[in-house]
Structure 1
């Protein structure tokens, strides 16, 4: 099958425009809308999870299969009432699980709708930013470094354009592009020089082209669906799932032994079906079947909560990673400062001329999606001070700001000053621009004058101001310009910009310290500016606590590692140095990194948690786990805290489900060998499981003690297993005390009181296990959790008194003294559980909670 890129690579740009019935001015909005109806949206649709899929998933879970098996055994025994009761419990469990998962899927769909990619197109001759999903064949798209190509595009114009096609072809080196006609149809994507393929990244340069294929008709769309339908699962989430499966296997083996042991003790197979039903019910009551659903629901609820704070997670498991962050690496601009620059000073011999040249140096709007804050400040100054509202210039070539070069180059025809002339204007870091300068205002740039300029630069920096140097030279018009043209420049002046500290910055730094998160500033600004802002924000106390990129280069690997840990402010660092710093820090810490540019993408992919702002380069957003709709350190700190709250609530369920359920299994299984009848009927066991699971629906919304989020925490499942075994034995101890007190009671009364004691004790365990601290010294439980628990307790105490409880569930009416005795046992059990928990936490138990 011939692909679109093969057809159009062998056609000229003019032929392509003719075939697609468009032109270099682009489509009109009306025509674009018409074509969207014809061709559909520029999207690749993954298979969505439907309500039917969720229902089917419930009926394939181990719990549901065991309930179905229990219902079939009851039916085989001709226990009609038990069959109906088990079937109702089955439907309730399926309904609750479906409700939880449906809410999670709805949350995920909502999150995906909050983040959308955009593209710069030309509509009716005007550049406009539109959602990528709205692109249609025939649209003219403008491309620049950092963009992810939104569709398959036949290039019309290129200026130093190179594309990273590794995502599609596996080719690691950038591929240079041109607009020339290919000699015949290219054999594969890698040979299609005049084609920019969807999903690839513009590594450098700029260009424009016409869309030839969209959505699933693109080359990338043929293979991307599988990636869209694959979900990345976090380490904790995966370990919880594995642990659940492992526990089910252990419980299965134990219950087979219980089943076989009861048969051997009875010495007959007459009650085999009854013992099988009992064993199935016991298995259902022990397995933490809701654990995966609780993890997903808690994460999705947390993700929606973060979204309301303008923090969008691209995968749910990123929330757990966010909570583990110990070091946060970020630029200062926009996170600590406002990124609302104001041009306050011009250091130049001819200030008005420097201001006019600065206005000419502003990047052309039609070639950038977002006007830089520097250019916006220059425009505002030019209009206010010089009365320049319209630039009289003709752009010949433009080389956007490059973090490696730390400067921008513009070649233009100046029609606003001293006659018509062609100028090459460079604007960038003073250290990069000044060495290329040889003159200033008609005079030779002497060594003494250079020192004056550098001293002014340092003085501005100490005042926390960001500085750009401006230089120019007349040039002859030609087809291509390169670095060699940037020599013998005329120094025009220094432009000093003020970027005020955000009002929330100091408080955000303080809150980060409370969470034991160390903030490190990695910036391209000079040491003076970086240190001034860091001191003002409270990141460091001394302005000398800064390491420059130039100093980092001179360090040995060992010294580099020591510096990465010691210093919290790194100035004039390159993207490669950012990568090395994160690489070194990740050997000992969980690192979060906030990046924006295309050159930040490698470091973002390396970091444990990658964060990008919504206005970042497409390549940076594509590498990010978390997208910030509000460029602020405050929302990142909120996200870290929320991640820890979510983790703490999942950990509560794990602690409870293991401690309470294991204790229940030990006692019921053990005592079943000592009685000539079942200690609890199967439908009573299933009702215990249902009543104690209902309050856990509210665990995701439970309050968390401030001490639990004071530092990054991890749940060590091996240590947790030992802890759960110990706490389960505490529960078993009181169950055997109960057996000693009620061993002479009639079977129905013993079963009834054990049912009451089991439910109330497991409800009490929820309130003990919900915090690693003593109950009365921890944050109060959420109202919903307390309400569900009270309702479950009231239902448990009231059901044996009703006709339904006595006839359907085979309960006996208990006496007041029997109920009082059970309540006393539950209270004693809760106190002892609290004491053992406190003792264990002071010793080896620290590993369970950290």
Structure 2
């Protein structure tokens, strides 16, 4: 008997194929179609001019505050501060400028997926042409290893398997056939179609091109990707809101104090100096740097969680995620098939027959190999039971192979022992069997409900697949990652909803979801599972969740995931299996393709946000204290307590350095035990603003009391000297209490953040030192500080911290009592 070979370079068209398929298009017709339809390329999107992108980086309220600080510092001849702030402005602008090119890089990577060359039939001859010159109506010739050049309808094929995972999300190669598809079939079920950018895994085929360029399925995804806009992250929105509030507050206080100055008879020059001083006091120059350092630190922490961050603000955004839409294969599952169930009277004989019907090759360790993933899984299971593939090949070498095809839905191998080993779909193998175990159909249904891929194993004595003896069933599946089960449980505890989006069959998807814990045994799907999802479906799912107010993270590895990754608040690409398109479209990349890493990133993101918020509160409370000192002094008709240089020094010593140390605080152990914060709520709510104002008022009261007493007892110079140092010590010591709002600094551990302790101690020494270094003393217009005055300012400087910590203890007892 003659059997077909396993490879056919150019199969003849089926009988129902058009006669034109024999010759293909003529060169003249192809040229005319090329002029009409355009080149088979993904169109490049028009780019915004570079100057517009750069200008857009300097239009936010926060940058406006920095500009004010820069101008004020220059006006006061504080060129060091002005240059430092200017550097921050340039760096932040350049970072934002280069981020604008993410979409262009994603589009360029997507265009690289298109085949550079294609084999077509023109004028009756097979010709190799540039893929860009393929036109609708061309007869496309494909074989294993090819990248499909355009969308096409299959006219004839032989054992054709196509890897469409990057387009459809289907984890297994798709079987193709020269049979018409059902109208409206989803992409994953279009067995008569080839799609641009997919890879031929096995066999060969002849197809008629139906769409090129932007009209292909890949082109439609490119269009979706080009029209999706980056989401404004919660952190960007929060900081913009705080910046607007500070600008309004600053203007109001400056106008009020200026009005009071005129009423009290101050000169224009003094009013101007006072207004400039207040503007400097109101601007937290260290805030942008602190946020950048906090996010940069988050990059390092997330790298330890096997997460690479491509955009800094993505660190905080992942922390407030309320929904994670994730792919199944490789992220929630291991990404490779294993045998999970055997059904038959003799499992050893069943596995022997299954292994004898495999063409894959296992390595010497029995753990991996080359070939079809299903066959490798069977060989691994056989190896574990003492059945070696090399022993099979040595003792019973194969005589011939009947390859798998989509019509027979089975394959067979005849070996030297005279036995024909068959594996395939149960309905096809059962129809050709003369005997089968009782209950085999029920067993197959049960396996399918559990999400297993079912293969029937049979043996025969002839050279055809007839009169078989069905031995049993093998159930295979891509197993869940053990750590993913624990991670999903932690995500649920953290209030994060896990949504599984996959190209697999709905029954398989639901079974895996229940095994993973995404769905409880008696829980309804309710939008948590989406099977057979297309690129448009994924984009719609993300938009639906966003419309409900959710902060959405979306994972993906294929081209079909790129638009949804861009649309989501946070796009997460797979580092191992992901395409270049998804990596360019994403905000963060998982180096291990593991869902557990996402939950770890959520934990770190929440910790970073906590650190940013506590630091913002600390900074604003300090600025509020400085403003209150100047405002109350003006209301009380007192001399100016602090000079502009004093304010700049305070902002440098008490704002920037302690704030940078505050953002290094370790993440709270139980941060994922809290529900995600509502992104619609401001970073600083009523409670936080109350803390800022109350702390600022307390600091101002202490400072003004010292100033008023010294003004009467020692004169203006000594009063400014003591008020300045008291305010510095008060804000430095208050940094210890800013770490937690619910615990005192000794409960947290004063050395648990050694950087903060070292900075506060060093800054206190420097503060004392500037009173005794002649150059600094003259520049700052200070007087020497005696030992008694030094001790006095330290003790008084501890008053705000003592009151704040005492209030924490009182509030805790009051809450417990109620």
Q: What band does the TM-score fall into relative to the shorter chain? A: 0.5 to 0.7
Q: What is the Cα deviation at residue 671 of structure 1? A: 0.9
Matching residue of 1:813: 784
Which of 180, 198, 201 is equivalent to 2:218?
201
Q: Distance in 1 between matches of 2:797 and 2:440?
A: 85
1:131-530 map, 5 Å: 141-142=147-148, 145-147=164-166, 193-197=210-214, 201=218, 232-266=231-265, 268=266, 271-313=267-309, 315-325=311-321, 334-335=330-331, 338-343=334-339, 347=343, 351=350, 355=355, 359=359, 373-378=373-378, 383-384=389-390, 386-387=392-393, 439-443=431-435, 448-454=439-445, 457=447, 466-470=452-456, 494-497=473-476, 504=483, 508=487, 515=494, 530=512
Aligned length: 680
Once the two structures are superposed, residues 523-550 of structure 1 have per-residue CA deviations (whole angstroms, 9 ceiling, x without a partner) of: 866599749955xxxx59xxx95258xx
- 1:746 pairs, out of 710, 715, 720, with 715
Q: In the alignment, is the contact (CA less than 8 A) between 1:354 and 1:492 conserved in 2?
A: no
C-alpha change, 1:624 and 1:508, in structure 2 (3 Å) is same
Give secondary structure in 2 for the equivalent of 1:825: helix
Q: Classify 1:16/1:840 alpha carbon distance in 2 versus 1 (closer, same or farther; 3 Å).
A: farther
Equivalent residue for 2:767? 796
The CA deviation at 1:644 is 0.9
Say if 1:760 and 1:826, in contact at 8 Å, map to a contact too: yes
CA contact (8 A) 1:656 1:770 kept: no
Matched residue of 1:717: which SS?
A: coil
Contact 1:288 1:657 in 2 (8 A): yes
Tell me the alpha carbon deviations over residues 362-415 of structure 1, each in whole angstroms, 9 at most, x when there is no partner. 9xxxxxxx97743542466694574399997798977xxxxxxxxxx7879979
Matches within 5 A, 1:672-751: 672-675=634-637, 677-695=639-657, 696-708=659-671, 710-714=673-677, 716-719=683-686, 720-744=688-712, 745-751=714-720
SS at match of 2:791: helix
C-alpha distance in structure 1 between counterparts of 2:546 and 2:59, whole Å: 42
1:516–1:193: structure 2 CA closer, same or farther, 3 Å change rule? closer
Which segment is superposed worse, 106-115 or 824-833? 106-115
Separation of aligned partners in 2, 1:286 and 1:317: 25
* Cα distance change, pair 47–359 in 1 and its aligned pair in 2 (3 A): farther
2:628 aligned with 1:649, yes or no? Answer: no
2-side partners of 1:315 and 1:391: how far apart? 58
Residue 546 in structure 1 maps to residue 525 in structure 2: no
Identify if the C-alpha distance between structure 1 residues 843 and 233 changes in structure 2 by more than 3 Å, giving closer, same or farther: farther
Kept in 2: contact 1:527–1:547 (CA 8 A): no
Say if 1:123 and 1:604 are closer, same or farther in 2 by CA, change over 3 A. closer
Alignment partner, residue 631 of structure 1 = 593
Question: What does residue 748 of structure 2 align with?
Answer: 778
- Does the 8 Å contact 1:339/1:373 carry over to 2? no
What is the CA–CA distance in structure 2 between the aligned matches of 1:59 and 1:522, rounded to whole Å? 38
Contact 2:699 2:727 in 1 (8 A): no
Cα deviations across residues 204-230 of structure 1 (Å, max 9, x unaligned)?
A: xxxxxxxxxxxxxxx979x98997xx7
Partner secondary structure for residue 473 of structure 2: strand
- How far apart in 2 are the matches of 1:573 and 1:798? 69
Cα pair 1:360 1:391 within 8 Å, conserved: no
Aligned equivalent of 1:767: 736
C-alpha distance in 1, partners of 2:601/2:698?
A: 37
- SS of the equivalent of 2:640 reads coil
1:705 touches 1:771 (CA, 8 Å); kept in 2? no
1:549-597 Cα deviation digits (max 9, x unpaired): xxx58xxxxxx58xx7xxxxx7x96659999899689959766565567
Instruction: Indicate how the Cα distance of structure 1 residues 665 and 113 shifts in structure 2: closer, same or farther if over 3 A, else same.
Output: same
Deviation at 1:737, TM superposition (A): 2.6
Give the match's secondary structure for 2:770: helix
Distance 2:61 2:492 in 1: 47
What SS does structure 1 have at the residue aligned with 2:592? coil
RMSD: 6.1
Task: Please state if 1:90 is matched with 2:82.
Answer: yes
User: CA separation in 1, counterparts of 2:165 and 2:631?
Assistant: 63
Report the Cα offset of residue 691 of structure 1: 2.0
Residue 775 to residue 58, structure 1, CA distance change in 2 (3 Å): same
- TM-score scaled by length of structure 1: 0.63
2:602 alignment partner, one of 640, 644, 662: 640
Contact 1:303-1:312 at 8 Å conserved across structures: yes
Aligned partner of 1:185 in structure 2 is none
Contact 1:122 1:142 in 2 (8 A): no
Question: Structure 2 unaligned runs (5+)?
Answer: 1-22, 32-43, 120-129, 134-144, 150-162, 169-175, 182-189, 197-208, 363-369, 383-387, 459-467
Residue matched to 2:799: 828
* 1:442 aligned counterpart, secondary structure: strand
CA contact (8 A) 1:322 1:643 kept: yes
Q: 1:265-321: CA deviations, max 9, x gaps?
A: 02x5xx312321232122122223443443344334423542453323454443333
User: For residues 398 and 769 of structure 2, what CA distance do their matches in structure 1 show?
Assistant: 82
Aligned with 1:706: secondary structure?
Answer: coil
Deviation, structure 1 residue 678:
1.8
Contact 1:234–1:321 (CA under 8 A) maintained in structure 2: yes
| Pairing 1:756–2:701 present | no
- Relative distance call for 1:836 and 1:340 in structure 2 (3 A) is same
Instruction: Kindly indicate whether the alpha-carbon contact (under 8 Å) linking 1:439 and 1:491 is maintained by their aligned counterparts in 2.
Output: no
**Secondary structure class of the residue paired with 2:454:** strand
Contact kept in structure 2, 1:158 and 1:178, CA below 8 Å: no
| 2-structure distance, mates of 1:654, 1:493 | 66
Distance 1:803 1:220 in 2: 67
Q: Aligned-pair distance for 1:244?
A: 0.7
Q: Are 2:730 and 2:797, in contact at CA under 8 Å, matched by a contact in 1?
A: yes
Q: 1:597 to 1:439 in 2, by over 3 A?
A: farther
Q: Using the alignment, how far apart are the partners of 2:218 and 2:507 within structure 1? A: 26
- Would the alpha carbon gap of residues 782 and 136 (structure 1) be closer, same or farther in structure 2, given more than 3 Å must change? farther
SS at match of 2:148: strand
> Residues 310 and 635 of structure 1 are in contact (CA less than 8 Å); yes or no, is this contact kept in structure 2?
yes
What are the superposed Cα offsets for residues 826-845 of structure 1, whole Å, 9 maximum, x if unpaired? Answer: 1111111223356568899x
Contact 2:61–2:243 at 8 Å: present in 1 too?
no
Mapped partners of 1:305, 1:199: distance in 2: 42
In the other structure, the counterpart of 2:140 is none
Question: Contact 1:178–1:193 at 8 Å: present in 2 too?
Answer: no
Partner of 1:33: none
Shift of 1:234: 0.5
For residues 765 and 533 of structure 1, the distance between their equivalents in structure 2, rounded to whole angstroms, comes to 50
The range that moved more, 781-790 or 370-379, is: 370-379
Q: What is the CA–CA distance in structure 2 between the aligned matches of 1:160 and 1:327, rounded to whole Å? A: 40
- Cα offset, 1:640, TM superposition: 1.1
TM-superposed deviation, 1:625: 5.1
* Structure 2 CA distance for partners of 1:841 and 1:159, relative to 1, 3 Å: farther
2:777 and 2:546 map into 1 onto residues whose CA distance is: 64
CA distance in 1, matches of 2:708, 2:596: 58
SS of the equivalent of 1:770 reads coil
**CA, structure 1 residues 633+137, in 2 after alignment: closer, same or farther (shift >3 Å)?**
same
